[in-house]
Chain A
């Protein structure tokens, strides 16, 4: 299951990439058949061997553990593009970006050697990290913030062990997610959620 799941993120990124290319070319994907065609082309692309490795595994060579919130961000972008219904609304995307930035600022410097404490150690088994994320999840769900739903999927993915990592941190944050969050902070219009108005840009 971990191996098959490893193709999912590259597949979603490829789908998003092909959609953006087709949008630049003035093509419009709406409806089931063109969307399935786009999905099939994306699946074929990530499975195509390049120098002996499927294209999707080249992305995994660089980072084997894409977090569930980053999955959700990419998926939301795709559903927003194709169905005009992003999975995550602006509030949830904002929350995700803040979550990435705060947890990234806590995790990475210390995990890479600044100070004697290693917060990454809290992700190997139930700890303050799990308790904290649970409290955050419930708080977000009570406030009807969809990022809470994403965090429920993160713990589900952890229980099912779908990533190569067995550390809970890797299910909730990854370096590319933090980069995305920083970019979104700098250029909110380019890295924000898709709206129907934005979606129609460039279409003929």
Chain B
């Protein structure tokens, strides 16, 4: 290498490093949790308690379904996604969606295949062995996002995450984009729970890592750009090998509480807090609620309380209950038993609340169907402690 070349390359290197430095400074701004808009407390929907139950997908003989997700579309319709096929992890598994008009009496549309391994392989231009967990949510700018898991090699620890965006409220979908979130062959990243939104247009999507360690993370996705230009990054919520599948509930613009699925022998739910809008999280601690290494979900209600859907047992997934907390998630009171049938599985609850106080809960019903419950806050507050069905 000549001295002249060295003299040229040193200033070139300095200049090339200015670009990421400039980007870092230009994107340095304080962001807060965007708390959900709430309609006036006294609304028609909230005034009298109600609870309706139904199934989203028809029972298809021999088909196994799992990991439902639901969202309210920009036009007011409801949309749900889940994955189904001959068995979990099979090559014939696809991610399906169905929609429903906003009025409570409406029925769900016929399920439509959104992504399977063939379409994912074509859109991502690579070999895909199987697809898995998916979540659906409406972001800023009227966009609807689908984040889903694909595996190229091995089991779920070989998972990678992909994003698909609809610009027309979920009717048509753009091409999938692969997210690079891990330095080791970009594997072991999965998604499960709903995102929280930030005031700067970003979304914090709870994800988790499942390889040597099992730990919760946040995927920060910029919603101000189109899918293939949107920047993203991830941060770790906790290390270790115990907690995963975070469910995050913002309480104030800076404070939020996360609840974790537990895979340790302790079989108790985990929790942690942030006081800087998700930038850092406290050390996880165990809650006095059991967790059988199964998914759970929590939503914030309009009066500041929190509602949790969970399997109330350290082993198995034979029941599904609701619990209410009035102290930011520190203590919980069981208020309703939604399912309780020995030998069956009721799992992976996913809940959203609407500005009018309606709560939509979807969950896996015995791996055969995705069940959808709609109720309002008045119904929640009318439940008696103890959780009778």
| In the complex, chain B residues whose CB is within 8 Å of the CB of A20 | none
Asked if B261 is an interface residue, CB under 8 A from chain A, the answer is: no
Within residues 152 to 204 of chain A, which ones have a CB less than 8 A from any CB in chain B?
A: 152, 155-156, 158-159, 163-170, 173-175
Asked if B209 is an interface residue, CB under 8 A from chain A, the answer is: yes
| In the complex, chain B residues whose CB is within 8 Å of the CB of A117 | 239
CA distance A164 to B9 in the complex (A): 26
Stretch among B104-112, B229-237, B354-362 lining the A interface: B229-237
Given A64-B186, A113-B211, A121-B234 in contact, is the A138-B239 Cβ separation under 8 Å? no
**Contact indicator per residue, chain B 184-198, by CB within 8 Å of chain A (1) or not (0):** 111010000000000
Q: Contact partner of B152 among A61, A142, A145, A170, CB < 8 A?
A: A61
B180:A113 contact, CB within 8 angstroms? no
Asked if A81 is an interface residue, CB under 8 A from chain B, the answer is: no
Within residues 51 to 65 of chain A, which ones have a CB less than 8 A from any CB in chain B?
A: 52-53, 57-58, 60-65
Asked if A107 is an interface residue, CB under 8 A from chain B, the answer is: yes
Q: Contact partner of A125 among B12, B24, B153, B213, CB < 8 A?
A: B24
Q: Contact partner of B214 among A64, A113, A121, CB < 8 A?
A: A113
Kindly provide the distance from the CB of A83 to the nearest chain B CB, expressed in whole angstroms. 18
Kindly provide the distance from the CB of A31 to the nearest chain B CB, expressed in whole angstroms. 27
Asked if B29 is an interface residue, CB under 8 A from chain A, the answer is: no
Q: Contact partner of B13 among A112, A114, A141, CB < 8 A?
A: A141
CA distance A158 to B180 in the complex (A): 14
| Chain B residue with the shortest CB-CB distance to A167 | B180
| Chain A residue with the shortest CB-CB distance to B211 | A112
A114:B212 contact, CB within 8 angstroms? yes
Asked if A144 is an interface residue, CB under 8 A from chain B, the answer is: yes
A63:B24 contact, CB within 8 angstroms? no
A53:B240 contact, CB within 8 angstroms? no
A130:B21 contact, CB within 8 angstroms? yes
Asked if B330 is an interface residue, CB under 8 A from chain A, the answer is: no
Given A155-B17, A173-B183 in contact, is the A121-B211 Cβ separation under 8 Å? no
**Contact indicator per residue, chain A 33-51, by CB within 8 Å of chain B (1) or not (0):** 0000000000000000000
A125:B23 contact, CB within 8 angstroms? yes
| In the complex, chain B residues whose CB is within 8 Å of the CB of A125 | 20, 23-24, 27, 233
CA distance A174 to B13 in the complex (A): 22
| Chain B residue with the shortest CB-CB distance to A123 | B183
| In the complex, chain A residues whose CB is within 8 Å of the CB of B238 | 116
B121:A144 contact, CB within 8 angstroms? no
CA distance A138 to B11 in the complex (A): 9
A62:B153 contact, CB within 8 angstroms? yes
| Chain A residue with the shortest CB-CB distance to B3 | A144
Asked if B10 is an interface residue, CB under 8 A from chain A, the answer is: yes
Asked if A8 is an interface residue, CB under 8 A from chain B, the answer is: no
CA distance A137 to B212 in the complex (A): 32
Given A166-B231, A170-B183 in contact, is the A116-B240 Cβ separation under 8 Å? yes
A113:B212 contact, CB within 8 angstroms? yes
Q: Contact partner of A113 among B14, B27, B128, B239, CB < 8 A?
A: B239
Kindly provide the distance from the CB of A1 to the nearest chain B CB, expressed in whole angstroms. 12
Asked if A77 is an interface residue, CB under 8 A from chain B, the answer is: no
Please give the number of chain B residues whose Cβ is less than 8 angstroms from any Cβ of chain A in the complex: 50
Asked if A148 is an interface residue, CB under 8 A from chain B, the answer is: yes
Asked if B1 is an interface residue, CB under 8 A from chain A, the answer is: yes
Given A111-B182, A120-B183 in contact, is the A134-B9 Cβ separation under 8 Å? no
CA distance A138 to B178 in the complex (A): 34
| In the complex, chain B residues whose CB is within 8 Å of the CB of A127 | 24
| In the complex, chain B residues whose CB is within 8 Å of the CB of A126 | 17, 20-21, 23-25
| In the complex, chain B residues whose CB is within 8 Å of the CB of A98 | none
| Chain B residue with the shortest CB-CB distance to A119 | B183
A112:B234 contact, CB within 8 angstroms? no
A137:B13 contact, CB within 8 angstroms? yes
CA distance A152 to B1 in the complex (A): 14
| In the complex, chain A residues whose CB is within 8 Å of the CB of B10 | 138, 141-142
Kindly provide the distance from the CB of A54 to the nearest chain B CB, expressed in whole angstroms. 8
Given A53-B125, A53-B126, A166-B231 in contact, is the A65-B13 Cβ separation under 8 Å? no
Given A62-B153, A148-B9 in contact, is the A112-B20 Cβ separation under 8 Å? no
B213:A112 contact, CB within 8 angstroms? yes
Asked if A18 is an interface residue, CB under 8 A from chain B, the answer is: no
| In the complex, chain B residues whose CB is within 8 Å of the CB of A134 | 13-14, 17
A155:B240 contact, CB within 8 angstroms? no
| In the complex, chain B residues whose CB is within 8 Å of the CB of A57 | 125-127
CA distance A117 to B236 in the complex (A): 8
User: B interface vs A, CB < 8 Å?
Assistant: 1, 3, 5-6, 9-10, 12-14, 16-17, 19-21, 23-25, 27, 121-122, 125-128, 152-153, 178, 180, 182-186, 188, 209, 211-215, 231-236, 238-241
With A141-B1, A159-B20, A166-B232 already in contact, 20 other A-B pairs whose C-beta atoms are closer than 8 Å = A116-B236, A117-B239, A118-B235, A121-B235, A124-B233, A125-B23, A126-B17, A126-B20, A127-B24, A130-B20, A130-B21, A134-B13, A134-B14, A144-B1, A148-B9, A152-B13, A159-B19, A163-B180, A169-B183, A174-B183
17 A–B contacts from the bound complex (CB under 8 Å):
A53-B125, A57-B126, A60-B126, A107-B183, A112-B212, A116-B239, A118-B235, A125-B23, A125-B24, A126-B23, A126-B25, A127-B24, A138-B13, A142-B10, A151-B13, A167-B183, A170-B180
User: A interface vs B, CB < 8 Å?
Assistant: 3, 52-53, 57-58, 60-65, 107-109, 111-118, 120-121, 123-127, 130, 134, 137-138, 141-142, 144-146, 148-149, 151-152, 155-156, 158-159, 163-170, 173-175
